[in-house]
Structure 1
Amino acid sequence: MNQPTPAPRISPSIVERDEQPYVYIRGSVRMDGFAAIADRLPELIDWLVGQGAGLAGAPFFRYNTVDLEGESVVEAGIPVSVAPQPEGDVGVAALPPGRYVTTTHIGHPDQLFGVTEALRQWARDQALEWDMTVVDGVEHWGCRLESYLTDPRVEPDLSKWETELAFRLAD
């Protein structure tokens, strides 16, 4: 008989973040086709380098909507010091300031679903409210980030990757 998988251990904290400009490429993807947006990060980095714009942090995915049964609206994004002019598929925006619950995961990105569930349970236990609404079963997030702190060119072993989750709390 299979044993249930234990919930991942997490060490969440609540941090105050300032507004952060970023560039992005947005897509509507099913979770089993996530590579369609994830594979655009190198293109976005190359575009930024070509613009002479400086990166101001780790690449991330911003989940604008989450629909586990259908398509989710996700942005592949990169924080910048100074926002360049948008061009083609590349947009420019700012991550909203506010209080965020964060936790860092070291391990394969496949484990992030469990880490996310553990983080959500921790927030329920703390009686915290997300900056999120549900419309027709689809979550609409004010700001939900998954930042990749490990450079895959330096560490190709996905089991050693460091990923930060940061979900904005309601004001």
Structure 2
Amino acid sequence: MTSQPPVTPVIEERPAQPYVGIRRPVTMETIGDAAGALSDLADWLTAREITPAGPDFLRYHVIDMARELEVEAGVPVPADAQIAVETPMETGVLPAGRYLTTTHVGDPDELVAVTGAFLEWAERNGLRWDVSDTGAGERWGCRLEIYHLGPDDDPDRSTWKTQLAFRLAD
């Protein structure tokens, strides 16, 4: 077993959060395509004078690491915002509930190892995810990478701050 980075998980209640997103299938090699949609969303909201209600995120809907992932780039919007989206954008609501979270400050290339340590910690502590196995992979109720600090804030990747927030089973 390889050494995992330390993680400090916290359980938190998150309220429902409306958002605008772009969902697409990707592979591990093309996952950057989903992250690239975040700047498209930010530009689209800015052009309409809509201020995001929180940091950008990637939401993993279906995960099959060997084949394909269904990933959505998203930006939270105010609950009272009246938004008419254009294809390929869609509106949605991140579900309220109990989430296990941890925050990583450092290079985003470390997130695979951090996620592994996070998942192992949850398993050791008997926590269950809001996830189901399907023929297409694992379908997650809500699995987020939330980008609090990134390249727009500081080019030094060691300062980037990413929060993992995975919804727990009821």
TM-score band, normalised by the shorter chain?
over 0.9
Q: Which runs of 4+ in 1 moved over 6 A?
A: none
> 2:117 maps to which residue?
118
Give, in angstroms, the shift of residue 50 of structure 1.
1.2
Of 1, 4, 8, the residue aligned with 2:5 is: 8
Output the amino acid matched with 2:111. L
> 1:127 maps to which residue?
126
CA distance in 2, matches of 1:93, 1:113: 26
Give, in angstroms, the shift of residue 109 of structure 1.
1.0
% same residue: 45
| C-alpha distance 123-8 of structure 1, shift in aligned 2 (>3 A) | same
> 1:57 maps to which residue?
54
Q: Does 1:156 align with 2:155?
A: yes
Of 138-147 and 34-43, deviating more is: 34-43
> 1:40 maps to which residue?
37
> 2:64 maps to which residue?
67
> 2:107 maps to which residue?
108
Residues 31 and 71 in structure 1, CA contact (< 8 A), matched pair in contact too: yes
Give, in angstroms, the shift of residue 5 of structure 1.
4.7
Output the amino acid matched with 1:153. D
> 1:80 maps to which residue?
77
Give, in angstroms, the shift of residue 87 of structure 1.
1.1
Give, in angstroms, the shift of residue 153 of structure 1.
2.1
> 1:23 maps to which residue?
20
TM-score normalised by the chain length of structure 1: 0.94
Q: Deviations over 1:95-152 (max 9, x none)?
A: 0000000000011111111111111111111111100011237110000000111041
Equivalent pairs counted in the alignment come to 168
Please, what is the CA RMSD of the aligned residues? 1.3
TM-score normalised by the chain length of structure 2: 0.94
Output the amino acid matched with 1:24. G
CA distance in 2, matches of 1:83, 1:167: 28
- Mind listing any 5+ residue stretches in structure 2 that lack a counterpart? none
Give, in angstroms, the shift of residue 159 of structure 1.
2.1
